[in-house]
Amino acid sequence: MNFLDGLNPPQKEAVEYTEGALMIIAGAGSGKTRVLTLRVANLLQQGIEPYQILSLTFTNKAAKEMRERIEKIVGIEAKSLWMGTFHSIFSRILRIEADRLGYDRNFTIYDTDDSKALLKSILKEQNLDDKVYRINNVLGRISGAKNKLITYKLYAQNDALKAEDAASKMPELYRIYEIYQKKCYKSNAMDFDDLLLLTNILLRDNEDIRQKYQQKFQYVMIDEFQDTNLSQYNIVKMLSQKHQNICVVGDDAQSIYAFRGADIQNILNFEKDYPTLKTVRLEQNYRSTNNIVQAANSVIANNKNQLRKSVWTSNDEGNKIKLVKTMTDTEEGRLVADTIFEEKHQNSWKNEDFAILYRTNAQSRIMEEALRRKNIKYKIVGGFSFYQRQEIKDLLGYLRFTVNQRDEEAFKRIINLPKRGIGDTTVAKLLAMANEKNINVWELLTEHTTEISNRIAGVLEVFTNLIKKFIQLLDSKDAHELAVIIAKESGLLKDLYEDKTIEGISRYENVQELLNGISEFVDNEENEDKSLSTFLQQITLVTSMDEASKDEDKDKVTLMTIHSAKGLEFKHVFVVGMEENLFPSQMANNSLAAIEEERRLFYVAVTRAEQKLTLTYAQNRYYYGNLQQCEPSRFLSEIDKQFLQNEGGMSKWTRQGFMNKEESNEKDNNTFSFSNQFKKTTANYTKVTNLTKTTPTADFKPSNLAALKVGMKVEHQKFGVGIIKELQSFQDDKKAIINFETQGEKTLLLSFAKLQILE
């Protein structure tokens, strides 16, 4: 059987066109990997030597899968292909040619932790404040420069870059970059960005080596071309210059890694570099139903900067997309978990058939808790379980030690967080001293201070006084109030807030999400005991249940950010948190390019679904301890409504939650109109709200709310006095929108709310 049999005409054209520049625009689910695999196999069967083919990917997994497929077609000779990630292939070249750059071929490759450790030592040597020159910020700045082919010498000559650093209070960054690079060189080491930068320099400055590899690689192929940065593309152009047999495969509609340095202009402007370029469009989607494919098309059509294509499918129409509105983010999690539970039994589907996608890692907490309550197994992809993340464990460590000073593990975690100059050796000595006296470490710190070295006694006294203050508040503050105080006064929140890297922002959001969870615990009318101790007991039960399910069972619901979902597919996909300032991110609001990338990210999310797609959003979500009103994402209004499920075909909860454009405009005062959405951006987004509880009147007594009317003045035990703005039906309940004098507007379910009618 001919291995080309079964290809559709565009796929076959892409496989057989081997001479000259070729761009394959591969729509989602269009069989891109199969085309790449068969294209290489076709070249090998034509007599091209494996070592003459360079195939670059972004993941080792993708390279491994392609090589295995090619081996099945052409045999063992596929092992000689130069196929792998950019970094693996270029490090291979650098090891061969290392002497030209003054390196030994046995150079070390530094990972991120190595780089951070080196930068930390440099800051110490140069007497620079690591609270100003934050390691993540410094490393990110150096990495960004390298990916734009800016060496430390060019950086020092660039007044614009130095002005930016000065504005960021890091005027010495150019010097740090130079010292860092020289120390790497002295140590015969390269970091990951050096593998790209130094390959560029090697090929640029050594004509004989450039010609050697240009002659060697007669055919160059690049997968996921839309994700390449300037440095990667520059190398590819140099390597393919002689033969011009370059094939790039990608989809501009799935370019979602600008924050990593990816430049969508590489694919949008590819034709400018290769005027004789042939373009083949793979537009038939084999993955998803027609409703999903066409819904995705209707959204991405709103992007101005794109390569036009018309993705289609011969698959069934399939289920229409469900759009679900919930009152709160907690209810959103419950409904998703309930749906998975029901569909597993109705359709005999497995856990692994479902995926829950979200914009930020912080959103996983609510989904995890909802799945646990239904005893549904899940896995977190691209991150730790929410409660296992370092920043969460750090704050929980403070909370645990405040409640129980005998918790030695909590002590070891927090004693040097933030940095106090208490190293591991000192901690070990303190613990050993406590053991010798047969007391716990807290007793040592508070009752045996004279026996502690004067060098650290002062620092430890500051720490113990801080914990003592927290302990004194245990009885007078509820769990959320005390957690906010601890997060602030410990310095943890300040440290995270000041880290403006992608990772730093994510960690800050995660801590805010933990505080949101504590606020929900306090607001829950069913929890009579609002203390920090009770909250920690609940969390311990949840996390211990999670730990108890460690097994090799792969049948689990997948939870991940949309960035992590690229290249994957599932029978039923839930995209949660479809709200303005969450998705699209608030940080994208001031840039058309950023909004277009957010839209591409949504396109990626939608096209992960094979048979069913559910989009959810909450009317109210906890932000920084406050339950705040949310607006549905603008992307929801961009979906052609013919692909959305109408009311008649919905289950009870979905029918109540569904909104099309007309219903939204009529019932929710132009919820889908975004002309004024920027004015409604929450003012508390960048700080923790310091909630000041009101003291209820001494004779507070909940009223019968059956007589509640708009305009009435009411009192709430926590929120104080307010006026009823609106009453609405909600499922089998009613909700009241109340404007409180001190706390602003709140939405409360009347079956849970305890209100006293004042007039």
Q: Which residues are catalytic, by number?
A: 32-33, 223-224, 254, 608
Cis geometry, peptide bond prior to residue 418 (ω within 30 degrees of 0): yes
Q: How is the beta sheet containing 53-57 ordered, strand by strand?
A: 82-85, 53-57, 219-222, 246-250, 22-26, 278-282
Could you tell me whether strands 322-328 and 609-623 are parallel, antiparallel, or unpaired per DSSP bridges? parallel
Of 265, 273, 204, 200, residue with least CA distance to 232: 200
Of 216, 282, 228, 311, residue with least CA distance to 22: 282
Whether 257 and 33 have beta carbons less than 8 Å apart is answered as no
Of 423, 400, 426, residue with least CA distance to 411: 400
3-state per-residue secondary structure call for 372-431: HHCCCCEEEECCCCHHHCHHHHHHHHHHHHHHCCCCHHHHHHHCCCCCCCCCHHHHHHHH
* Stretch (H or E) spanning 354: strand 354-358
Task: State how far the Cα of 230 lies from the Cα of 29, in Å rounded to an integer.
Answer: 27
Task: State how far the Cα of 252 lies from the Cα of 260, in Å rounded to an integer.
Answer: 16
90 class by beta-carbon count within 10 Å (0-12 exposed, 13-18 middle, 19+ buried):
buried
Both structure tokens of 690:
């310091």
Of 147, 141, 143, 146, residue with least CA distance to 173: 141
Cα four-point dihedral sign 367, 372, 378, 379? positive
User: Which residues, other chains included, contact 639 with Cβ-Cβ below 8 Å and sequence gap of 6+?
Assistant: 295, 298, 299, 321, 323
Both structure tokens of 163:
């002005």
User: Which residues, other chains included, contact 86 with Cβ-Cβ below 8 Å and sequence gap of 6+?
Assistant: 56, 58, 195, 196, 232, 235
Both structure tokens of 70:
């090619």
Task: State how far the Cα of 623 lies from the Cα of 691, in Å rounded to an integer.
Answer: 12
Tokens 């192929």 correspond to 221
Of 304, 227, 292, 295, residue with least CA distance to 266: 227
Of 625, 528, 636, 549, residue with least CA distance to 584: 636
Both structure tokens of 336:
């998703």
Angle between helices 86-97 and 230-239 (to 10 degrees): 60
User: Which residues, other chains included, contact 329 with Cβ-Cβ below 8 Å and sequence gap of 6+?
Assistant: 366, 577, 618, 620, 621, 622
Task: State how far the Cα of 541 lies from the Cα of 549, in Å rounded to an integer.
Answer: 13
Alpha carbon of 569 to those of 89, 283, 608: distances in Å?
28, 17, 5
Whether 632 and 671 have beta carbons less than 8 Å apart is answered as yes
Identify the bridge partners of residue 190 per DSSP, sorted by sequence position. Answer: 109
Task: State how far the Cα of 367 lies from the Cα of 357, in Å rounded to an integer.
Answer: 10
